[in-house]
A and B are shown apart, each in its own frame.
Chain A
Amino acid sequence: MTSSTLALPLRPSRALRDHPLVTRYAPVLAMVLALVAIWYVAAVAMNWSLVRDGFEREETPYTMSDVLAGTMDAERPLLPAPHQIAAAFLDSVFGYPPLAPRSLVYHSLVTLSATLLGFLLGALFGIVLALLILHSRVLERSLLPWIICSQMVPVLALAPIFIVVLGALGLHGLLPKSIISAYLCFFPITIGMVKGFASPDPLQLELMRTWSATPRQVLWKLRWPASVPYLFASLKVAVTISLIGAIVAELPTGAEAGIGARLLSGSYYGQTVQLWSALVAAAVLSSALIALIGLIERTVGRRMGVH
């Protein structure tokens, strides 16, 4: 009796603390809250002189609290406050029909289509390169320096060249962007798959030899399934890179649509809030893409007996 009455007040709090949702998300939530708090402090500090100068230019009397309030809803702040970004983001996502040119959904879809096509091309190209490298030492020695060089040249310098050359060939719009995106994202896939294709146990390879399996059978029944974990790891890296590639490709082209275009016009007109909400859209997009690949990975993993 006494013990149960004593235990009663403890029970709800302990149950709450041990709840799986709490143990899983509490650390994340704490981190987010801390970041938001730091952000607000930074927004006040960075926008302070901007807002004060504004009051002084207009020669209106002001108090400290006026300036403080001003740092929270300036039209073109140096650093917009989180709630400004959230409001602008929600407004540009839900405030317009999805395909209106002012809708962030529309711009995200434009960038997403270039990302997905680029990712597909890059993944195929990356896997084919890995197969070629696996196939012959000579190819490895002749291809690998070029592959590494290709990643050392800044894509921002290459993108205009790609656009001009492909434009001269009559390719506009989606494809040049996808090619730049593919150019960036094939690399981690090649590196990952070279390792993946070489990952089977020597005993498994020798077993295939004792069964006198053909090289093609060794590839499809051993090397390919053995490389699946490597494939998904490199796909996750590649998909974010291909999104960056698609956005970067939108910058030098003066594209009219896409997250890159929003970033460009935002920075051109000093629309920092628009800039930040485009960044949020890019972050949401890449998280969604990684989550999607994670989901496919788990589904494939279950079928392949991953525990």
Chain B
Amino acid sequence: MPKPSLSVPDEPLADSRPGRLVVDAQNISLTFDTADGRVEALSDVNLQVAEGEFVSFIGPSGCGKTTMLRVIADLQQPSSGTLTVNGMSAEAARLARSYGYVFQAPALFPWRTIEKNLKLPLEIMGYSEIEQQQRVERYLSMVNLTGFERKFPWQLSGGMQQRVSIARALSFDPALMLMDEPFGALDEIVRDHLNEQLLQLWKSTGKTVLFVTHSIPEAVFLSTRIVVMSPRPGRIIDVIDCDFPTERSLEIRETPEFLKVAQRVRNGLRAGHSYDE
């Protein structure tokens, strides 16, 4: 694998004992000054994510779950607090291309074919032609889109486009996947299907995933840990461990264990809301 052009010392990466922290956020706060006064998007958020975890953020709109993801991605800077991503500052992690980001919209480049869309980050990072081609093949087949290389984005359905955007985020093999409601705009059936696929991907690649969602079943089905957040100020009100067997299918959503966790998430969300009213 070619080195990123802006490389950082390899020291922290070399430490690969299990349970190594990929994200370590201490007392993160973020306030905006708007015309209507000060908004506390994040208030004193503490979060540790170990390698290989699948952590979901759930909460109502305005609870800061997307902001938290953006802070980790260095797309926004916290007002206070300390944050390390992959053992370095968020900015250094971004410059070292440590994470792949998936937005709610696929955000494919409409003038590029699917193949060229997948190659875009690889071109930017200076991979060789041969390597680019190999990766396109590998990651397209991983999201079951082999054969669509020469199609343009508009020729694909919304779900397929989102799979391309996931493949694109995986293509440069980042340690961390940041996913901001990637299936939020898709219908229930497609979403269920993609949830199963994403679970397979996570198991086969062993990546650490941070996943923002509105959907309780989605969060419970996918996660090893669920972070329940609440708005005004945006903060964490509950962290729930889910330890369902790794070999699970959508049917697990009917089991009492699953419903118990879902109930706890729902209670957390409700508690968060009553604060508001």
Give residues in A with beta carbon < 8 Å to B.
201, 203-204, 206-213, 217, 221-222, 225-226, 228, 304-307
List the 6 shortest-distance A-B pairs measured between CB atoms, nearest first. Answer: A305-B152, A304-B111, A203-B107, A210-B101, A213-B124, A211-B121
B113 lies within 8 A of A305 (CB): yes
The residue on B at minimum CB distance from A208 is: B124
Contacts of A217 on B, CB cut-off 8 Å?
A: 124
A184 to B145, CA, bound (A): 50
With A203-B105, A203-B107, A307-B152 given, is the CB distance from A210 to B113 under 8 Å?
A: no
A207 lies within 8 A of B154 (CB): no
Within 8 A of A (CB), among B217-235: none
Contacts of A213 on B, CB cut-off 8 Å?
A: 124
With A212-B94, A228-B111, A305-B110 given, is the CB distance from A207 to B101 under 8 Å?
A: yes
Contact sample, A vs B, 22 pairs, CB 8 Å cutoff: A203-B103, A206-B75, A206-B103, A207-B101, A207-B107, A209-B75, A209-B94, A210-B75, A210-B99, A210-B101, A211-B97, A211-B124, A211-B125, A221-B120, A221-B123, A222-B109, A225-B109, A225-B111, A305-B112, A305-B113, A305-B152, A306-B111
B130 close to A (CB within 8 Å) = no
The residue on A at minimum CB distance from B96 is: A212
B81-107 CB mask vs A (1 if < 8 Å, else 0) is: 000000000000011010111010101
Give residues in B with beta carbon < 8 Å to A.
4, 6, 73, 75, 94-95, 97, 99-101, 103, 105, 107, 109-113, 120-121, 123-125, 152-154, 172
Contacts of B113 on A, CB cut-off 8 Å?
A: 305
B contact face: mostly helix, strand, loop, or mixed: loop
- How many residue pairs bridge A and B at CB < 8 Å? 54
The residue on B at minimum CB distance from A201 is: B107
A204 to B152, CA, bound (A): 16
Q: Find A212's partner among B97, B103, B111, B123 (CB 8 Å cutoff).
A: B97
A207 to B109, CA, bound (A): 11
Contacts of B110 on A, CB cut-off 8 Å?
A: 304-305
B107 lies within 8 A of A221 (CB): no
A contact face: mostly helix, strand, loop, or mixed: helix
Q: How far is the CB of A240 from chain B (nearest CB, A)?
A: 27
B94 lies within 8 A of A210 (CB): yes
Q: Find A210's partner among B73, B109, B112 (CB 8 Å cutoff).
A: B73
Contacts of B75 on A, CB cut-off 8 Å?
A: 206, 209-210
A207 to B94, CA, bound (A): 11
The residue on A at minimum CB distance from B109 is: A204
Q: How far is the CB of B211 from chain A (nearest CB, A)?
A: 16
- List 15 additional A-B contacts (Cβ < 8 Å) besides A203-B103, A221-B124, A307-B152: A201-B107, A203-B105, A206-B75, A206-B103, A207-B103, A208-B124, A210-B75, A211-B172, A213-B124, A217-B124, A222-B109, A304-B111, A305-B112, A305-B113, A306-B111
A305 to B4, CA, bound (A): 31
Q: How far is the CB of A201 from chain B (nearest CB, A)?
A: 6
B111 lies within 8 A of A305 (CB): yes
The residue on A at minimum CB distance from B91 is: A212
A306 to B152, CA, bound (A): 9
Q: How far is the CB of A45 from chain B (nearest CB, A)?
A: 55
Q: How far is the CB of A199 from chain B (nearest CB, A)?
A: 12
A306 to B4, CA, bound (A): 33
A304 to B113, CA, bound (A): 8
A203 to B182, CA, bound (A): 13
Contacts of A210 on B, CB cut-off 8 Å?
A: 73, 75, 94, 99-101
Contacts of B152 on A, CB cut-off 8 Å?
A: 305, 307
A221 to B99, CA, bound (A): 21
A305 to B109, CA, bound (A): 10
A305 lies within 8 A of B154 (CB): yes
